[in-house]
Amino acid sequence: MHPQRTAIIGGNWKMNTDRASGLALAGSIARGVQELHNAGKRVEVAVFPPFVYLPLISEALCAASSRVMLGAQDVYHAERGAFTGEISVLQLQDVGVGTVLAGHSERRHVIHEGDDQINLKVRAILHHGLRCVLCVGEKLEQRETDQTNTVNERQVRLGLRDVRPDELDRLVIAYEPVWAIGTGKVASPEDAQDAHRHIRAVLADLFGKDAAAGVRIQYGGSVTAANAAELLKQPDIDGALVGGASLKEADFMAIVRAAAQ
Ligand code: PGA
């Protein structure tokens, strides 16, 4: 983690929690983050609950005047209209969402979203002034055949097509190797750093070195309280996107504390 970038930790709850457990989890994370800020620590934290609980969690975070940012796990690119079952950026904004994931590996590989669709989402999110977390990452067979950097580069370039340099301050990249997500197999800090360095080089090629140095790149894939600190020591790892371990307050807050500067 470079001192010029503030670490950012996201808790992706996926299709987990219900009203009561989500509220309890958000409440305790809000208290934990407040304590860190009171102690003068610097770290950004976001939670990504399921769509249906966003208004509920939003109200709870507002009532607690929390610094925890509310995130959505996905979005549809159009603003409104006949798109049954979909949710727009405007609707997310209306309930207090400040950050949105695009291209999460489960959207790419379970729901079969393609790079073009993901790019439309990225542009819609940034256009409306929200923060976008573009997720990229290689599958196991791609890593085994030495295609990690090629795959990440393609997903970054296609995902960011027609994104303007002035929108970059709202962009976060999450590098999440597919084989590491939900498997307990975390990338080694060195392998993760290699992938992050390459992604930053791609950003530099697209937007210039200075702009690329300002973009935060999170690592995701089986991050736990036990392995977070080692990953976060790497110069190009600026935070974590956490799935399983984000559902337990103690585990998630241990990761947040490891990232706080
Ligand atoms: P995991 O999920 O931490 O459970 O591996 C990470 C993610 O999908 O963002």
Decide: helix, strand or coil at residue 168: helix
104 assigned to active site: yes
Nearest to 182 by CA among 10, 12, 53: 12
Q: Which helix (DSSP H) or strand (DSSP E) does residue 48 occupy?
A: strand 44-48
Residue type, 63: A
Give the separation between CA 27 and CA 30, rounded to whole angstroms. Answer: 5
Contact 63, 39 (CB under 8 A): no
Annotated catalytic residue, options 104, 106, 167, 198: 104
15-65: per-residue pLDDT in tens?
A: 999 999 999 999 999 999 999 999 999 999 999 999 999 999 999 999 888
Ligand 1 site residues (CB inside 6 A) read 12, 176, 181-182, 220-223, 241-245
Burial label, 190 (beta-carbon count in 10 A; 0-12, 13-18, 19+): exposed
- The predicted model scores a pTM of 0.98
115-160: per-residue pLDDT in tens?
A: 999 999 999 999 999 999 999 999 999 999 999 999 999 999 999 9
Q: Domain 8-260 adopts which CATH fold?
A: TIM Barrel (3.20.20)
Annotated catalytic residue, options 44, 106, 167, 176: 176
Domains in the chain: boundaries = 8-260
166-223: per-residue pLDDT in tens?
A: 999 999 999 999 999 999 999 999 999 999 999 999 999 999 999 999 999 999 999 9
176 assigned to active site: yes
Residues forming a β-bridge with 12? 48
For 179, other C-beta atoms within 10 Å of its C-beta total 20
Give the separation between CA 242 and CA 14, rounded to whole angstroms. Answer: 10
> How many angstroms does the Cα of residue 80 sit away from the middle of ligand 1?
30
For 90, other C-beta atoms within 10 Å of its C-beta total 13
Lowest mean pLDDT segment, chosen from 58-67, 233-242, 243-252 = 58-67
> How many angstroms does the Cα of residue 38 sit away from the middle of ligand 1?
29
